[in-house]
Structure 1
Amino acid sequence: MSTPSVRWVVGVDSGGSGLRVALADAAGAGAPEVVDARTPVRTGPAGIDARHLLELMLPMVRALFVRTGHGASGTGAEVAAVAVGAAGMATLGGQLRAELPGALATELGVRRLALAADAVTAYAGALGQRPGAVVAAGTGVIALGTDLAGWRRADGWGHLLGDCGSGAWIGRAGLEAALRAHDGRRGGSTALLSAAESLWGPVTGLPGQLYPRTDRPAVLASFAPHVARCAIEGDPVAEEVLGRAAGHLVEAAAAVCPPAQQGVARGAGVDVALTGGLFAMGDPLLVPVREQMAAQLPAARLVPAVGDPLAGAVSIAAALADDSLRLPTDPALLHVPLAAPAERGR
């Protein structure tokens, strides 16, 4: 009597810090197997480099098959669906949309594929496939909401034009307060000045250290935990910075909640989840976020995020595999080809 083959799904999370790949039983049995690479996928003039993503991803998938005992080729197993979540997919994903369906059909026999912005996989990881709003915040910030008919997006415009309330925003506001203290201007914080100088030396040299760098958002965000520490220690300027950040984050959540109907409060009955590394700073930020939720979205429910963006990619792939995807498709945010080449003509 032959053993039934296992149907697998693959979830991929591609971001600025590298690539993570998960292999999971499509039926949901057992925990996914995960492997990661600290090499980010290259981005060039044509957008996200599809060939580089494949060079990184395919050996990782095969290594996961070996780990599960199915051999490097996945003998006795079927890859039913793949979901790739990538930072920059909305504006830089043209090459992925053009090349991945055929390549994955050839290499893995994949019949179903979803290409998603990382905000969508963050949403799916946090709330699954139910209506609601998610604020994903780390170095940057983006809010995404859906009523399952379409998507609403707020912010995600980068540290020069937006990302209000993000790690980079908090770090920049904290450093501005440090420089104000150095100059003797109103709004300065000697606590933040001391923290900045302990990291980078005299603040007069900070512009020369910061402006030439290509990773300015990450450098700014690296100061956010020091703002939180100063707030814990009772510095009123640091507390005020985090209060303003919380206001921006909740404003973004409010913007993506489904529009209020006549006589119904905005956000009534809507689940709002927070996800991303920024919220790991805990109460210094979360307490003012809860206060702002009560002020701006009193009828919404703040709920814990169930999982991370990689878990969201796995859940989207699993939904594709059994024809239960409810999240709305969108050319920029969640692209699902009608059929991969391996399935066409059947």
Structure 2
Amino acid sequence: MTRPAGGSGVLGVDSGGSGLRAVLAVDGGRDTAPLTSEEPVRTGPRGIDAGHLLAQLVPMARQLMADAGVGTLRSVAIGAAGLTSLGDALRAELPSGLAGELGVRRLALVADAVTAYTGALGQRVGAVVAAGTGMITIGTDLESWHRADGWGHLLGDCGGGSWIGQAGLEAALRAYDGRPGGSAPLLARVEEMFGSAHALPGQLYPRTDRPAVLASFAPEVAACADGDPVAADILAAAARHITDSLAAVCPTDKGGERDGGESAASGEVQVAFTGGLFKMGDPLLVPLRAALAERLPYARQVPAAGDPLSGAVRIALDLAGDRLTLPRDDSMLYVVTDAPETRPSDHSP
């Protein structure tokens, strides 16, 4: 039921390969249920399509505001996959677009790795692995951001879902050919999921969602790992890749926070894992924890406090309350505090 508008709140948004999610945090601490669009925001020659994002987000925001009786958005934080390298159009167009459509004056455009970090660890020194279809690590000493990988399935994302799935499919095709390094159990899983292994290239190469299709096979690799040394070796290699990326970003000289709670022990750094990849459980987590203990003995794994969407909400709340102390970086955490307003038609798709 729509309530009379009069209150205020902040909007957190998570835009990734699986679509768009938005949640409204109303003054007083109450969050709405998220709204979801399963259509990923398009990319084009200018990078992430700002008009397409606006076309999806504005109706969702208006519905959330109407349902909660909110008339004013004090701030918006948008976590966007690809912002670092594909975000020029968003930085140029979204501030005025959201000001014109929703009256937004305070906006944070945030790399999805930063929202993942903030959701998991808040404003603490540490490092986070954000892994699903892809894989990226991010760390901060609260002075600057450090990231590793996240280069996409063709150039990196080593240890992520698409990487594991592709390695599993390759092992299955090795078994189909009779080459060394093949896995009969993985070949059987391929034939259950895709039909004949011979037809697999025709099913995979024409797809525009190849990373997601590759990642869909990662759980099959995990399911075979207990009895298949090839599958187990793939997950052990994934764990090493993830740990390599963590080592590249993990602060080494201090632990601490700016949240008012207890600091980490001297020299200890908190590390958290977040994302759908870790739903595979022990087949991946056991070798990953072993690699972490060997490579980064000063790092202590802690549970992720929340997901990237909760991280976006937290950034929006801190921005609205002038409490945002995370490092500013135009490519990772771009903040506008006085967005110019334009006519809504200037940003129609």
What is the alpha-carbon distance in structure 2 between the residues aligned to residue 60 and residue 204 of structure 1? Answer: 44
Is residue 206 from structure 1 mapped to residue 234 from structure 2 by the alignment?
no
Map of 1:10 onto structure 2 = 11
Normalising by structure 1, we get a TM-score of: 0.90
Letter of the structure 2 residue corresponding to residue 258 of structure 1: P
Q: Is the 8 A contact 2:240 2:291 kept in 1?
A: yes
Is residue 22 from structure 1 mapped to residue 23 from structure 2 by the alignment?
yes
Map of 2:315 onto structure 1 = 316
Letter of the structure 1 residue corresponding to residue 67 of structure 2: R
Map of 1:251 onto structure 2 = 244
What is the alpha-carbon distance in structure 2 between the residues aligned to residue 268 and residue 216 of structure 1? Answer: 42
Per the TM alignment, residue 316 of structure 1 is displaced from its structure 2 partner at its CA by 0.4
What is the alpha-carbon distance in structure 1 between the residues aligned to residue 253 and residue 170 of structure 2? Answer: 37
Q: Is the 8 A contact 2:252 2:269 kept in 1?
A: no
* Percent identity for Structure 1 against Structure 2: 62
Map of 2:161 onto structure 1 = 167
Is residue 112 from structure 1 mapped to residue 106 from structure 2 by the alignment?
yes
**Map of 1:261-276 to 2, 5 A cutoff?**
268-276=267-275
Is residue 43 from structure 1 mapped to residue 36 from structure 2 by the alignment?
no
What is the alpha-carbon distance in structure 1 between the residues aligned to residue 326 and residue 32 of structure 2? Answer: 22
Letter of the structure 2 residue corresponding to residue 243 of structure 1: A
**Map of 1:1-346 to 2, 5 A cutoff?**
6-27=7-28, 29-68=29-68, 70=69, 74=70, 77-232=71-226, 234-259=227-252, 268-341=267-340
Instruction: Tell me how large the CA RMSD over aligned residues is.
Output: 1.9
Structure 2 unpaired stretches of 5+: 255-265, 342-349
What is the alpha-carbon distance in structure 2 between the residues aligned to residue 272 and residue 221 of structure 1? Answer: 24
Normalising by structure 2, we get a TM-score of: 0.89
- Corresponding residue SS for 1:305: coil
What is the alpha-carbon distance in structure 2 between the residues aligned to residue 245 and residue 278 of structure 1? Answer: 11
What is the alpha-carbon distance in structure 2 between the residues aligned to residue 341 and residue 100 of structure 1? Answer: 10
What is the alpha-carbon distance in structure 2 between the residues aligned to residue 137 and residue 305 of structure 1? Answer: 13
What is the alpha-carbon distance in structure 2 between the residues aligned to residue 25 and residue 338 of structure 1? Answer: 20
Structure 1 unpaired stretches of 5+: 262-266
Map of 1:264 onto structure 2 = none
Per the TM alignment, residue 235 of structure 1 is displaced from its structure 2 partner at its CA by 1.1
Letter of the structure 1 residue corresponding to residue 233 of structure 2: E
- Corresponding residue SS for 2:153: helix
Per the TM alignment, residue 45 of structure 1 is displaced from its structure 2 partner at its CA by 1.5
User: Structure 1 residues 119-128 or 39-48, which shifts more?
Assistant: 39-48
Partner deviation per Cα, 1:91-129 (whole Å, 9 max, x = no partner): 221121112212222222222110011111111111111
Letter of the structure 1 residue corresponding to residue 35 of structure 2: V
Q: Is the 8 A contact 1:26 1:321 kept in 2?
A: no
Letter of the structure 1 residue corresponding to residue 251 of structure 2: P
What is the alpha-carbon distance in structure 2 between the residues aligned to residue 60 and residue 6 of structure 1? Answer: 18
Aligned residues: 327
CA gap of 1:60–1:225, structure 2 versus 1, over 3 A, is: same
